[in-house]
């Protein structure tokens, strides 16, 4: 054994100061003191701070040097000759119950990219998740995890975890002053280890925070982040082409919205959730069998409170562990790819909760949110609003959007509560908000953030779809950024949803007084690229289930709902239905229990299921119903003003503009025999869908009247058209008539 003298007595006051800072978790620059340093021309010094160690030795290929403990503290050091400075070494640490040998944490140089950090501080870093967070790396031939976190106003930051007994003094991090990012590489650390960041503020407060960019987090009530290798989607060229095809503006898009925790559960196993893998094997085939083209997941970023349904996330880069791990979610995504089913995820960049391990006052200051509550606090949801004016927050949100699309290969994002981001006075009274620099109510920072997200995401893959849930008349939501729009691909048509549901809730005898509520949407139908949503928001918080909104007796309620779905699928705009719409439950959605699958044993409920399946199949195979959703050439009223009879009739056209599809919707219980309806072309029309079909638990009156459901037009003028047909219009029903032979328009 070789020994070396300890440091000179002159260094002792310096050691006292450093040990005090280290022991208090307030060491701001650990790399300036710990590790290997040149002491003078002839000597080097090795210092390490290891709480709980009894002895420490430095090991080289040929030697073993003991380090001297400083005054019964956790600091061990030794002076070595200068030749040692060029040697790779390890530390042998003797604890009371074990001896551990490994590389010195403070012997590794920084691996962070200055350019990447510059872009992060500039607000243009679209892949911050490659640089911040916990990353499995090999440095100097040693595998481990590099931890990095943005906390510019912290006095010191340490990595704590189950690998260091959650001791905030063992792994203090290196500060990059120019960027405010702290970094530390911990060698020989594997996946599935829990960790957090222990932050000491300049006020002396010690707080523990989860990693904002962690790829994996504990399930509540746990709050730790978990080391995890970065997910990598394998998306082949054919899959990219298929993705671009199914998301086009002239493609059939029918979306099934799902809350993974309550679609189906294992009731006989303690009512447990299905895993991502079970959902991949069960949910995806089910959605495909119903004929939907896309699946939309309510937020799956890790969230602490089940009752938020995911809309108050803490781990924006982490698929919730409620349903399994990162690899399990990747399997689920791959199942969607293989089934050629589009996958959208709800994204929540509008606010975040106040959980102490989350983003709020992350480094002791209002880092991610505005300090002024008039800008930084959501009164409706008791949450905090991102400070979109801060460049690093823009990089954070931009990177998060890019992460899901690029690393998991999903089709796109549905952005939640966009209106709350756009308006500074959203849900606020006079005096409770601060105008922008021009005195207006527009949140300029949020606008630029959304534009940047859409530009970058579409720039990375123009085959995706970015969807805005925007409930106001903000202009240009789906207009390109180059033309002063927000750059979304689609927008939810909340006006259509509110108007039509209000109409459908009326007793048929009163509907004639609300006729315009079903036609008004056509006034603005081409102002945006719309999706018609009947989402989870319409069946919670006392609003009642869709079936319960329908008036009349039992048969009429089901008939109303079928007719409404038929009208929806014929109206310009893509479609979205919340899970369970196909079951027609009478109760509101409950996130704590699975859907009532027993309803399918009822002929009436099974009729709704079959109706939606038929609507989807008809929709996908009928170009007139989707190709011209955003063009005025794709729609003409036959009669949009028949309020007295509450009958709506119109024509849909495809790209060729020649072959018409005639749609008739009757929203009263009266059957109309020998109804003369003008049609745009002569020939034979076939009924390709009738929501009153007996297969759907309808009356079948129209089918009997139409025999083979083939109706030939006559040269009899009606509704301003030279040709017309004589049809039976069933009660509370929507029918589609396809021209199958004869002339064209």
Q: Which positions are annotated as active-site residues?
A: 416, 469
CB atoms < 10 A from the CB of 232, how many? Answer: 11
CB atoms < 10 A from the CB of 542, how many? Answer: 5
Decide if 28 contacts 153 (C-beta within 8 A): no
Q: Tell me how far the alpha carbon of residue 192 is from its chain's centroid.
A: 24
- Two structure tokens written together for 732: 């509370």
Cα 305 to Cα 3, 297, 397, distances in angstroms: 57, 17, 22
The full 3-state SS of 50-109, as one line of letters, equals CCCCCEEEEECCCCEEEEEECCCCCEEEEEEEHHHHHCCCEEEEECCCCEEEEECHHHCC
Strands 64-69 and 55-59: what pairing?
antiparallel
> Cα–Cα distance between 45 and 107 in angstroms, integer?
12
Strands 133-139 and 142-150: what pairing?
antiparallel
Question: Which of 127, 3, 154, 150 lies closest to 65, judged by CA?
Answer: 3
- Two structure tokens written together for 352: 């975040």
> Cα–Cα distance between 117 and 310 in angstroms, integer?
30
The full 3-state SS of 536-564, as one line of letters, equals HHHHCCCCCCHHHHCCCCHHHHHHHHHHH
> Cα–Cα distance between 651 and 660 in angstroms, integer?
6
Reduced to 3 states (helix: H, G, I; strand: E, B; else coil), residue 571 is coil
652, with CB counted inside 10 A (0-12, 13-18, 19+), is: buried
Ordered alpha helix ranges (H), 257-312: 260-263, 276-289
Reduced to 3 states (helix: H, G, I; strand: E, B; else coil), residue 541 is coil
Kind plus residue range of the DSSP H or E element containing 456: helix 444-460
Cα 328 to Cα 245, 409, 447, 451, 685, distances in angstroms: 27, 14, 35, 32, 49
């Amino acid at each position: 054994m070789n020994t070396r003298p300890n440091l000179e007595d002159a260094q002792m006051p310096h050691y006292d100061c450093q040990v005090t800072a280290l022991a208090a978790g307030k060491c701001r620059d650990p790399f300036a003191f710990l590790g290997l340093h040149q002491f003078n021309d002839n000597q080097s010094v090795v210092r390490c701070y290891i709480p709980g160690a009894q002895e420490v030795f430095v090991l080289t290929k040929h030697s073993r040097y003991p380090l001297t403990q400083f005054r019964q503290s956790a600091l061990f050091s030794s002076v070595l000759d200068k030749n040692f400075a060029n040697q790779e070494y390890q530390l042998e640490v003797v604890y009371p119950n074990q001896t551990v040998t490994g590389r010195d944490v403070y012997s590794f140089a920084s691996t962070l990219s200055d350019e990447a950090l510059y872009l992060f501080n500039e607000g243009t870093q679209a892949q911050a998740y490659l640089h911040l967070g916990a990353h499995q790396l090999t440095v100097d031939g040693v595998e481990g995890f590099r931890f990095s976190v943005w906390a510019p106003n912290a006095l010191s930051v340490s990595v704590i975890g189950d690998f260091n007994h959650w001791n905030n003094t063992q792994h203090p991090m290196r500060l990059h002053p120019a960027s405010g990012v702290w970094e530390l590489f911990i060698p020989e650390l594997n996946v599935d280890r829990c960790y957090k960041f222990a932050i000491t503020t300049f006020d002396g407060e010690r707080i523990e925070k989860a990693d904002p960019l962690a790829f994996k987090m504990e399930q509540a009530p746990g709050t730790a982040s978990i080391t995890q290798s970065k997910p990598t989607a394998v998306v082949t060229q054919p899959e990219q082409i298929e993705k671009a095809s199914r998301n086009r503006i002239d493609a059939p898009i029918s979306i099934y919205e799902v809350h993974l925790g309550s679609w189906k559960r294992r009731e006989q196993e303690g009512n447990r959730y299905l895993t991502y893998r079970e959902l991949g094997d069960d949910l995806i085939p089910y959605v495909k069998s119903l004929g939907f083209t896309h699946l939309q997941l309510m937020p799956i970023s890790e969230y602490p409170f089940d009752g938020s349904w995911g809309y108050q996330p803490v781990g924006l880069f982490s698929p919730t562990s409620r349903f399994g791990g990162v690899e399990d979610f990747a399997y689920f995504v791959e199942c969607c790819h293989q089934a050629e089913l589009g996958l959208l995820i709800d994204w929540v960049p509008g606010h975040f909760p106040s959980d102490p391990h989350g983003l709020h006052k992350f480094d002791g200051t209002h880092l991610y949110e505005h300090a002024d509550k008039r800008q930084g606090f959501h009164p409706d949801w008791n949450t905090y609003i991102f400070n979109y004016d801060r460049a690093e927050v823009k990089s954070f949100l931009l990177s998060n959007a890019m992460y899901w699309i690029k690393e998991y290969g999903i089709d796109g994002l549905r952005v939640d509560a966009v209106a709350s981001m756009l308006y500074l006075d959203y849900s606020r009274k006079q005096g409770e908000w601060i105008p922008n620099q021009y005195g207006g109510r527009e949140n300029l920072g949020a606008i630029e953030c959304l534009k940047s997200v859409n530009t970058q995401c579409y720039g990375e893959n123009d085959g995706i779809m970015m969807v805005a849930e925007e409930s106001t008349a903000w202009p240009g939501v789906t207009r390109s950024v180059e033309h002063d729009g927000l750059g979304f691909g689609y927008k939810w048509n909340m006006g259509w949803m509110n108007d039509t549901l209000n109409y459908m809730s009326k007793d048929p005898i009163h509907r004639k007084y609300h006729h315009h509520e079903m036609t008004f949407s056509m006034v603005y139908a081409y102002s945006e690229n719309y999706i018609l949503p009947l989402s989870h928001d319409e069946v919670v918080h006392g609003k009642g289930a869709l079936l319960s909104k329908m008036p009349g007796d039992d048969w009429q309620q089901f008939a109303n709902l079928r007719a409404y779905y038929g009208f929806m699928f014929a109206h310009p705009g893509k479609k979205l239905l919340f899970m369970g719409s196909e079951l027609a439950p009478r109760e509101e959605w409950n996130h704590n229990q699975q859907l009532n699958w027993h309803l399918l044993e009822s002929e009436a409920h099974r009729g709704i299921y079959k109706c939606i399946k038929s609507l989807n199949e008809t929709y996908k195979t009928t170009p007139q119903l989707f190709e011209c959703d955003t063009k005025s050439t794709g729609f003409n009223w036959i009669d949009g003003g028949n309020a007295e009879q509450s009958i709506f009739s119109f024509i849909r056209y495809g790209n060729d503009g020649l072959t018409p599809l005639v749609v008739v919707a009757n929203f009263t219980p009266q059957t109309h025999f020998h109804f003369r309806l003008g049609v745009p072309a002569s020939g034979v029309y076939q009924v390709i869908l009738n929501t009153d079909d007996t297969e759907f638990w309808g009356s079948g009156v129209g089918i009997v009247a139409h025999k083979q459901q083939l109706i030939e037009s006559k040269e009899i003028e009606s509704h301003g058209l030279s040709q017309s047909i004589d049809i039976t219009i069933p009660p509370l029903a929507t029918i589609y008539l396809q021209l199958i032979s004869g002339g064209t328009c």
